[in-house]
Amino acid sequence: MTQEQSPARRAMSPTLSPVPTTGPSPAPGLGPVAGQQGARSSLTPSVVAEARDLVKVYGTDKTQVVALDRVSVSFQRGSFTAIMGPSGSGKSTLMHCLAGLDRITAGQVFLAGEELNRLPDSKLTNVRRDRLGFVFQSFNLLPTLTARQNIVLPLDLAGRKPDEAWVTQLAESLGLTDRLTHRPSELSGGQQQRVAIARAMVTRPDVIFADEPTGALDSKTGTALLNYLRRSVDDLGQSIIMVTHDPKAAAYADRVLVLLDGHIVDDLTDPDVDQVTHALATLER
């Protein structure tokens, strides 16, 4: 097995500019910023998300599906984790439970110091809005809003004023400056996904959750996006948890978790594409 560095350590983005690092002061708990490239999870070792004996059951009686079966795992602040596994293995369910998008059946979920399963719905909504960013395969932009309105939506919903300098820098670094007045239908897929990433980052969230963020993009556009996510971890100390089917995408992460039938069956540190591909292949034996 080769020990060469994963693409993340070598490649530069073909199209996107550096992640902005000269914006407003980072939110408490955010990791290394400007001038500290390469300083990563080792310098920000605290846990940002954790599941303890997490069980998620869908349905009742005969239709019951145990999507997660006593999963325990923790995620370091300032690190990039990929979640992989076959279709139906529980990847999205794990992400949704960690992000408070789905109520759990048993166990505990901690996120940025809060025990999510104990929070009432109203508080949970605030945690999701203020402390988490989401990026989905299908972009999930609001069609009637412009790119800029989509980006600042989480702040609007919270009644907070956007930090114009930060919005401008995000737009610039994502190559969106001349697209901010366009609606999603007037943007390419890659541009729409970049708007979604700006929206996810605008609140300087504790964690960005991404479910197949490159699934609907061509390979070059997807690579640019993965490089951008990677650099947001390296340069801003952003924490990212990403579900993906693509070993090349997973190799951008610091860690790859492999799920099978609701269990974590592998946990790889800084793997390259070959190691990820091998881990998935062993599941089929």
Note the residues at the interface with ligand ATP (CB under 6 A).
58-59, 65, 67, 85, 87-93
Closest CA to 12 of 194, 235, 171, 269: 235
For residue 145, give both structure tokens. Answer: 């809003």
Smallest gap from Cβ 92 to ligand ATP, in A, equals 3
Q: Output 58 or 220, the one with its CB closest to ligand ATP.
A: 58
Smallest gap from Cβ 86 to ligand ATP, in A, equals 7
What is the number of other CB atoms lying within 10 angstroms of the CB of residue 44?
18
Q: How far is CA 104 from CA 108, 117, 240, in A?
A: 8, 7, 21
Q: Output 70 or 160, the one with its CB closest to ligand ATP.
A: 70
Q: Output 103 or 123, the one with its CB closest to ligand ATP.
A: 103
Q: Output 23 or 222, the one with its CB closest to Mg ion.
A: 222
Smallest gap from Cβ 199 to ligand ATP, in A, equals 22
Q: Which of Mg ion, ligand ATP, none has residue 85 at its interface (CB below 5 to 8 Å by kind)?
A: ligand ATP
Give the number of residues in contact with Mg ion, rule: CB under 5 A: 1
Q: How far is CA 231 from CA 6, 8, 78, 111, 165, in A?
A: 14, 9, 11, 23, 20
Q: Which of Mg ion, ligand ATP, none has residue 65 at its interface (CB below 5 to 8 Å by kind)?
A: ligand ATP
Q: Which of Mg ion, ligand ATP, none has residue 24 at its interface (CB below 5 to 8 Å by kind)?
A: none
Q: Output 87 or 185, the one with its CB closest to ligand ATP.
A: 87
Site string for Mg ion, 66-105 (x = CB under 5 A): --------------------------x-------------
Smallest gap from Cβ 66 to ligand ATP, in A, equals 8
Q: Output 47 or 260, the one with its CB closest to ligand ATP.
A: 260
Residue 21 near Mg ion by CB under 5 A: no
> Beta strand 80-84 with 106-111: parallel, antiparallel or unpaired?
unpaired
Smallest gap from Cβ 9 to ligand ATP, in A, equals 27
Q: Which of ligand ATP, Mg ion, none has residue 113 at its interface (CB below 5 to 8 Å by kind)?
A: none
Q: Which of Mg ion, ligand ATP, none has residue 90 at its interface (CB below 5 to 8 Å by kind)?
A: ligand ATP
Smallest gap from Cβ 262 to ligand ATP, in A, equals 7
Q: Output 83 or 198, the one with its CB closest to Mg ion.
A: 83
Report the interface residues with Mg ion, using CB under 5 A: 92
